[in-house]
Amino acid sequence: MNRFCRLAFAALIPAAAMSFGPSATLAQSPSPAPAASASPSPAPAASPSPAASAPAASASPAPVATPSPAASASPSPSPAPPPAAAATPAPVQTADPFGQETVLEPKKVVMVKGTANWDSAFDTLIDAFKALNALLDKQGIKHAGNSMIVYTSTDDTGFTFLAEIPVEQDPKNLPKDMSVGKSPEGKALKFVHRGSYDNMDNTYEAITNHLDDKKLEAKDTFIEEYLTDPLKTAEDKLVINVFVPLK
């Protein structure tokens, strides 16, 4: 990085005033010169004294320049905005965990079983969440946590799952495909996915590579916790915690 410095020079040349002195003495070198030098001597003595008083008077306006501090008071508010600007980047510094060790605590959940094909996977999961929400809304039961999907088995064509919503009280009159139970518990690795459900293949590929690199063995199930409501959030704006239980 280059730094450029500017230097200012001020030159005062009083020689011009002195040049007139020698020329006058040369012009009046005869006897009249002393008479002429006597008469000018009082004139300069009188003229400089007012001239000297003038600077003294001019020095008095210097205090008039003191209002500049008053002007400097106005810039003082300017330092206040920088702290506000500095506060905004703070959230951006947070990084999503990838492979963070954690312990899952069991929660009471109302759940529904289902099966899905990979081609229509997300639509099937949304239908399961809608069914659970309809039941809870009808009975006035509030969510006690984020919605979850527990994958119980997978193959090339599709998968089986449990859609779960944490609750603090037991719902009544449950349909045959719904039940109350507990969410998974135990040691797991936490990963974060941001974006659409269709793009989760990239996340799971990265998870597989992470497990291989660390030589870790996972259980047959894995859990997705939806930090954003899948019923109200655009699919490409989803934020999902992926938990991989370890053996």
* Residue among 221, 227, 230 at smallest CA distance from 241: 227
**Nearest 5°: phi and psi at 144?**
-115, 20
Quote the CA–CA distance of 148 and 140 in Å, as a whole number: 20
51 lies in some domain: no
Token code pair at residue 50: 């007012």
Per-residue pLDDT of the chain (247 residues; tens, 9 = 90+): 332 232 332 333 333 333 334 433 333 434 444 444 434 444 444 444 444 334 444 444 444 444 444 444 445 555 555 555 555 554 444 678 799 999 999 999 999 999 999 999 999 999 999 999 999 999 999 999 999 999 999 999 999 999 999 999 999 999 999 999 999 999 999 999 999 999 999 999 999 999 999 999 999 889 999 999 999 999 899 999 999 999 8
Q: Which domain holds residue 135?
A: 98-245
Count up the domains in the chain and report the number.
1
- Summary count for the chain: helices (H), strands (E): 9, 8
Task: Let me know: does 171 contact 134? Beta carbons within 8 Å.
Answer: no
Terminal C-alpha separation, the chain:
54
How far, in Å, CA of 133 to CA of 147, rounded?
10
Q: What is the CATH number of the domain that holds 134?
A: 3.20.80.10
The reply to whether 175 falls in a domain is yes
Residue 87 to residue 15: CA distance in whole angstroms: 61
Q: What is the pTM of this model?
A: 0.62
